[in-house]
Amino acid sequence: MKNILMLGGILMALMANGQTETIYDYEVETIEGETISLSKFKGKKMLIVNTASKCGFTPQYKQLEELYQMFKDKDFVILGFPSNDFLSQEPGTNEEIAEFCQKNYGVTFPMMAKIKVKGKNKAPLYNYLTSKELNGHSDSKVKWNFQKYLIGKDGKIEGMHYSKVIPTDPEIVNWVIGE
Among all residues, which ones are annotated catalytic? 55
Task: Find all residues with CB under 8 Å of 64, minimum gap 6, and list them.
Answer: 47, 49, 78, 80, 107, 109, 167
Instruction: Give Rg (Cα) of the chain.
Output: 16
148-151 and 157-161 strand pairing: antiparallel
Task: Find all residues with CB under 8 Å of 152, minimum gap 6, and list them.
Answer: 45, 158
The alpha carbon dihedral of 168, 158, 160, 12 has a sign of positive
- Give residue 174's Cα distance to chain centre: 19
